Amino acid sequence: MKTKLQDTDKPSGENTAILVSIQHQNSSPGEAEELLKELENLTGTIGLESLEGILVKLRSPTSRYLVGSGKAEEIARLADELDAECIVFDDDLSPSQQRNWEKLTERCVIDRHEVILEIFARRASTKVAALQVGLARMEYSLPRLTRAWTHLSRQKGGTRGTRGEGETQLEVDRRIVLRKIHRMEQELKKVRAQRAIMRKQRQETPVPAGSIVGYTNAGKSSLLNNLTGAEVFVEDNLFATLDPTTRRISLPGGKELVLTDTIGFIRKLPHDLVDAFRSTLEETVLADFLIHILDASSPVAEHHYTTTLKVLDEIGAGGKPMITVFNKMDIVSDTLHLNNLHQHHPDAVFLSVKTGEGIEELINAVDELLSRQNPSVEYNLPTDRYDLIALIHRTGEIIEEHYEDNRVRVIAKVPEKTEYKLKKYKV
């Protein structure tokens, strides 16, 4: 099945691609079409214009081309007719399948995995992000090195047991890549150790910590900027930011907390990228609560919701207290779609970061969540420990406060970190 991805005519030749999405037996046509549209957004981010989209129904994958030989030849003919420079698969291709496709079509053939790696490489603006992406790219490229030297590997000598030029070059390349992988792993170990120290210092400060999570391009960085007055880079594009940013926010009554903006999630996020960015994603694992932000204007918001929950489970952050937020209400026009979101997520906050609508409701929801998390505890404090009284005001909620002789009796709800510091004064 072929589908035009855009109504506008697009040029053939340089920087153009045919996109292929696989409809497996356990997936619906609608899901395959959604993934095809998402693949178009991904390839557009790296400058590839989509000429045609193809949905392939597949009972079981084949070892040679993933799809059947007849379908593979049909796709190859279409690439010739449209003069497409590249063919992009939404499913992962094995190194041998990739080589077979390039031999069949004499064109660049890549998969979703490689597209996402390329986007991450272009978005990596700090040394840490560049290291993490570089490591993932090297590990991805290692089993695919033969692609670059196939023409040389045929030039084997006539003496039995000797190695050809291509084989020698391949071994040299493998050693170079393995050395780079080792060096990057060592550098990332140092980075993780430094981040662990910084994280420990933050944890010793008795302030609740939240993490903003969600599908890529849902508005995480914009929300952090709105809530904290930060100036985190924001762009209407996929994976605009890769590094976590942590900022303080003041709640009603003077309470404080820290919020961290994290990397965006996506369906079929490659596992090597999840592993490479594990130190970044640990901010989410260690958070006291999560703000899960979604694009309310997206017709597949429910799929994005499910994807984020799945990734959270994978990294060990599933089951944390969570506030669901639907953003971009200023551009939602589908009433039926909006009613469905309200029905399926009755406790969610609906807002627009752009206009500010609903921001105050979100702040109140965070305040209420933290209050629910902390039980009421009574403390008997010396009157000269102004620092502890200020700490309770800053990090918790005071229910009662009475001055009696040289003591202050306080009933308050405080986070676990504050409670630990006050345990000797607990009644």
DSSP assignment string, 362-409: HHHHHHHHHHHHS-EEEEEEETT-HHHHHHHHHHSEEEEEEEETTEEE
Q: Distance from CA of residue 413 to its chain's centroid?
A: 34
Arithmetic mean of pLDDT, 344-373: 92
Fold type of domain 2-120: Rossmann fold (3.40.50)
- Per-residue pLDDT, 158: 41
Q: Do domains 2-120 and 206-372 have the same CATH topology?
A: yes
- Higher per-residue confidence, 36 vs 232: 36
- Per-residue pLDDT, 139: 86
Fold type of domain 206-372: Rossmann fold (3.40.50)
The two three-digit tokens of residue 189, written as one number: 């170990």
Q: What is the pTM of this model?
A: 0.72
SS3 196: helix
- Higher per-residue confidence, 163 vs 25: 25
What average pLDDT is seen over the chain? 82
- Is residue 152 pLDDT above 60, yes or no? no
- Per-residue pLDDT, 240: 55
Rounded (5°) CA angle 370-375-377: 125
Q: Choose among 370, 362, 389: nearest CA to 208.
A: 370
Arithmetic mean of pLDDT, 31-35: 83
pLDDT tens-digit series, residues 171-222: 888 888 889 888 988 888 887 777 777 666 655 666 788 999 998 888 888 8
Q: How confident is the model at residue 340 (pLDDT cuts 50, 70, 90)?
A: very high
- Is residue 128 pLDDT above 80, yes or no? no
Arithmetic mean of pLDDT, 79-87: 94
| Stretch among 68-77, 158-167, 180-189, 240-249 having the lowest mean pLDDT | 158-167
Domain ranges (residues) in the chain:
2-120, 125-191, 206-372, 375-425
